[in-house]
Amino acid sequence: MSDAQTGAPALTGNVLLYKNPEPLSLEAHNKLGLKNIERPFGFVETTHVVPLTVQEFGMAATSLPIIFAPDR
């Protein structure tokens, strides 16, 4: 399967915490940028578990508690 407009492979499946993921393209996303927001991790308030990397602990701890759970 491929995207008819770009010839790129079509995306399938689910990506944790994303509702509609799509590959970045210069034509479609050239006006996007970054901005500071008050609650940068507010998007996870509807989920029970969020994987974090060590680098994300400090920023995440300002918005949510960090709990370590065992692997099962």
The verdict on residue 57 lying in a domain is yes
Which amino acid, one-letter code, is at 71? Answer: D
The verdict on residue 52 lying in a domain is yes
Residue with tokens 């689910």: 14
The verdict on residue 11 lying in a domain is no
The verdict on residue 61 lying in a domain is yes
pTM metric for this prediction? 0.42
Residue with tokens 């799509």: 22
Task: Going residue by residue through the chain, which has 72 residues, state the pLDDT in tens, using 9 for 90 and above.
Answer: 455 566 667 767 777 777 788 888 999 999 999 889 888 778 878 888 888 889 989 988 887 788 888 877
Output phi, psi for 9, to 5 deg: -60, 140
Q: List the one residue out of 33, 32, 51, 31 whose CA is nearest residue 41.
A: 51
Q: Residue 46: give the domain boundaries.
A: 36-65
The verdict on residue 56 lying in a domain is yes
